Each structure stands twice: as C-alpha cells, then as structure tokens.
Structure 1
Amino acid sequence: MSDPDAEFRAALLEIGHLTYVWTNTESLLVHIIAGLLGCDKDRALLVYLTLNTTRARIDLVERLAKSPFTPPAQRDLVLEATRRLARLSGERNFYNHAIYAFDLEEGAISTIQMRIADRGSEVKLGRRQPLDEAAVRDLREVIASLSQLNQTLWQLIRSQNFPL
C-alpha cells in the first residue's frame, strides 16, 4: 500500500529539481546566442531575456543556426541540441503548468493539465494523471535527460568557442 502524502512530497521535491535543472539548462542558450550572433555574453543575455518564452528562445537559436553565416557542422550540433531541449520542454510544461488535485476520500493526488480541448461540439477539460511513484520515476528520467543535455550543451559551447 502506498503513502499518498509521501508520494506527493517526493513528487514536489522532484518537480523543484526539474525546475532547477530546466532553468540551468535553458540559460545555456545565452552562450549559444552569443556565439551565433558573434557578440559578448552580456549582449546575448539582453536578447535572451527579451524573449520571454522557451519556444521563442529556441526559435531564435534555430534560425541563427540555419542562417548562411553558420557553418553546417556547427548548425547540425546546435539543431540537435535545440530539438532535444524542445522535446523536454513538453515534459517540463506538464508539471509546471498543472493543477494539483487531492482526493480527500482516497488520499490520491493527481495532476490536471490546464488545457481545454475544443473538439467539434464538445469541450474537454485538462487530462488528469495520478501523481504517484510512477510519476516520480518519470520525473527522475526527465531530470536525467536534462542533465545529460546540459553536459552536451556545455561541450558544444566549449568546442565552438562560444563566449563563456
């Protein structure tokens, strides 16, 4: 028998860890922007902070990478990394943009996605998913993937001599 309170505390701890690892990893785009624009890190930071969504930041980096000023080998490295980051952003968004629901009778805790699916003549509210041991395992896998991507980004930044 599982302990919903302990599972919830474990999940919250992992969600906090996910937020930390995500922010740390996404911020590495500053160095890539600096390298692709040929400017210093401080100017790239202004650009990064002006773009207020992950999607906008990834779009900028991908467009810079695809520009004729970027060597093909460098382009390919950058695009591989941004595609991984974009895939992982869905996992991060799942937990950061959810409502957490508590079943007082069973003690179960679940996430409810803050999305409305507008399908023809129906409206469906956000998908509900249990926040249990399996969810905590999934969170840990996402965190491990982000940590690997973080290392990959640092290798890319150093190998391409992007501003540190």
Structure 2
Amino acid sequence: MNKPIPRFQEILLLTGQLNYTWTNTESLLIYLIAGLAQVDKETAIVIFLTLNTTRARIELVERLTKLPKTPAERRREILAVTEKMTQEAKLRNKYSHCIYSFDGDGEAGSTQLMRIFDTKNEIRYGKIEEINGTEIKKIENCIENLIAINKQIWKLVKDYSYPC
C-alpha cells in the first residue's frame, strides 16, 4: 500500500515543476528577441541574459513587437503570448518569493509573502496565506498554462522562421 505524499512534499514538487516550466518557457523569449530584432541566436542570448528580470525581458519583446516593421497580425499574436506570460508570472512570483511554513506532520501549510506594503502611516509585511486545495489547483493550472504558452511561442518561432 502506497503511503500518501505529505502536503509539504506535494508543494515542493509542484513549485519545482512550476519554476522549471516557467524558466523553460521564459528562455524561449530568446527566439522572439532574435526574430524581432533580426539578430542571430547568440546575440539574442546576450541581450536576454543582460536583462536581469522577467519583466524587462517581456517588455523588450513587447517593445520590439510594437515597432512599425512588425506586421499587425504578428504583433497581435506575440502580444497575446506576452500578456499570458505576464498573467502567469503573478502566481510564479508568489511561490518563488515567499517563505513556506508547515505543521509538524508536513500537512497544514502556508506561505508568507516577502513583500512590504507601505501605507500613509504604517508598513505591513509578510501576508500569510493558507496552501489549500484551491491553491494547489492554481499552481497546477499555471503549469498547464505555461506549457500551452511554451507551445505557442514555438509555433510563432516556426511560423515566422525566427532563428533557433
């Protein structure tokens, strides 16, 4: 008889898969940069690695896409993909930049965000949220969405003959 996986291990596996899927998908921006900037893959890699945040990389792709030389249909397709990535980045960032807490059995879990919220008269930090079935489903959905985005980017690279 198989012993059920404690929630702690389940969350570690899911967040690992989330981060792997995100990183793999984000790296495909290299090919969009290469095609849109009309440079070779190695130059696109240098540009990609020089930009040290996801947001900067996505913004570069969006700005290159918005140049007049990008045909309107291609612009719509690429911007739709970057918009989806930006939406999925929210959950990925939450689980990549938090502290995890679990009870002694590794079952009841929560996250504590590593962010400061300033108001006029005070600061608040470390919003705590329970990791429950709903949150697990959000992570699973995010992974599925990232896989779909990954496939969309590969299709764009192929359809527009971008360097790869």
The TM-score, its normalising length taken from structure 1, stands at 0.92
Q: Which amino acid aligns with 2:42?
A: D
Q: In the TM superposition, what is the alpha-carbon distance from 1:126 to its structure 2 partner?
A: 2.2
Higher mean C-alpha deviation, range 33-42 or range 114-123: 114-123
- Aligned mates of 1:16, 1:128 — CA distance in 2: 21
Letter in 1 for 2:127: R
Displacement of 1:13: 0.2
Residue 74 of structure 1 deviates from its aligned partner by 1.2
1:18, 1:92 within 8 Å by CA — same for their partners in 2? yes
1:136 to 1:106, Cα distance in 2 relative to 1, 3 A = closer
Q: What's 2:111 paired with?
A: 111
* Match of residue 70 from structure 1: 70
Alignment-derived partner of residue 44 in structure 1 = 44
Residue in 1 that maps onto 2:151? 151
Where structure 2 has 5 or more consecutive residues not aligned to the other structure, the ranges are none
Q: State how 1:19-58 maps to structure 2 within 5 Å.
A: 19-58=19-58
Residues 31 and 162 of structure 2 are in contact (CA less than 8 Å); yes or no, is this contact kept in structure 1?
yes
Secondary structure at the counterpart of residue 117 of structure 1: strand
Spell out the pairing of 1:88-107 with structure 2 (5 A cutoff). 88-103=88-103
Amino-acid identity (%): 41
Structure 1, unaligned runs of 5 or more: none
SS at match of 1:111: strand
Q: Deviations over 1:26-83 (max 9, x none)?
A: 0000000000011111110010000000000011000000011211111111111111
Q: Return 15-24 or 119-128, whichever deviates more.
A: 119-128
SS in 2 for 1:67: coil
What one-letter code is carried by the residue in structure 2 that aligns with 1:115?
R
Comparing 6-15 and 127-136, the one that deviates more:
127-136
Q: Distance in 2 between matches of 1:157 and 1:109?
A: 40
Amino acid across the alignment from 1:50:
T
Change (3 A) 1:105 1:71: closer
Kindly report structure 1 stretches of 4+ aligned residues shifted beyond 3 Å. 102-107
SS in 2 for 1:69: coil
Deviates most, 16-25 or 135-144: 135-144
Query: Structure 2 matches for 1:116-135, cutoff 5 A?
Result: 116-135=116-135
